[in-house]
Amino acid sequence: MSEPIYKRIVLKLSGEALAGDKDFGINPLTIQKICQEIKDVYELGIEIAIVVGGGNIWRGQTGSEMGMERAQADYMGMIATIMNGLALQDSLENAGVPTRVQTSIEMKEVAEQYIRRRAIRHLEKGRVVIFAGGTGNPYFSTDTTAALRAAEIKADVIMMAKNNVDGVYSADPMKDDAAVKYDKLTYLDIINQSLGVMDTTASTLSMDNDIPLLVFKLNEKGNIKRAVLGEAIGTTVKGKTNE
């Protein structure tokens, strides 16, 4: 296919994706590569919103397990996503792609506060919008943020770009050689089989709003563009049926 099958997408990037081959932090060269992939899709005329995680800097759950108060640990994680969002913005704009960062936690000196109508207007004007700060509430993952923002801006699909994994498997393919890759699933499959693609809140929200999910491998050049053009890569997840 040579024409995009989606008009407006939410691209979900994990914080770990920005660390590259490191275990921690932001790798500028890795971000440049990711942003070039995003630029290739942007040049197709696609409206792109990005939700970025913060696991390369801080995970609220890890802090909680170490004895921190959960809400406090989660807020630290939300701030980590804002740092990642600013790094993505800088790299995208250096590549010539107009970008806005919107945060759920007010930080007016560095980013806009999230306003749904303004976000949609930015997309319509050809700007990439990066949603940072999670939902602005503790106890919710950035997967849930992706599902929520996709519903709010009426995105056609959530595209979940994974590191080193080319779809959804019955078990962890890095640990279990017998793991089977799925081409198609439903959100009920994810919930009932505890497949770990998205948390239950995100899966339910996506299912209730009939937003398809595409899970694919990020670190393979051109995959984001292939996904937008409708090539059969990764795993497609839909509502309650595979039809």
Q: Which residues participate in the annotated binding site?
A: 12-15, 54-55, 59, 74, 135-142, 163, 169, 172
Helix H segments across the chain? 28-42, 60-65, 70-94, 116-124, 142-153, 187-193, 200-208, 223-228
154 burial (CB, 10 Å; 0-12 / 13-18 / 19+) is: exposed
Give the single-character DSSP code of 28: H
User: Which residues contribute to the annotated binding site for UMP?
Assistant: 54, 74, 135-142
The three-class DSSP label of residue 1 is coil
**Which residues define the annotated binding site for ATP?**
12-15, 55, 59, 163, 169, 172
CB 177 within 8 A of CB 38: no
Burial of 113 (0-12, 13-18, 19+ CB in 10 A): middle
Residue partners of 14: CB distance under 8 A and separation at least 6? 52, 53, 55, 56, 161, 162, 163
Residue in the structure block whose two tokens are 């630290």? 76
Structure tokens at 228: 């937008």
Neighbours of 209 (CB within 10 A): 15
**Alpha carbons 127 and 142: distance in angstroms, whole number:** 21
Q: How many CA atoms lie within 13 A of 66 on its CB side?
A: 10
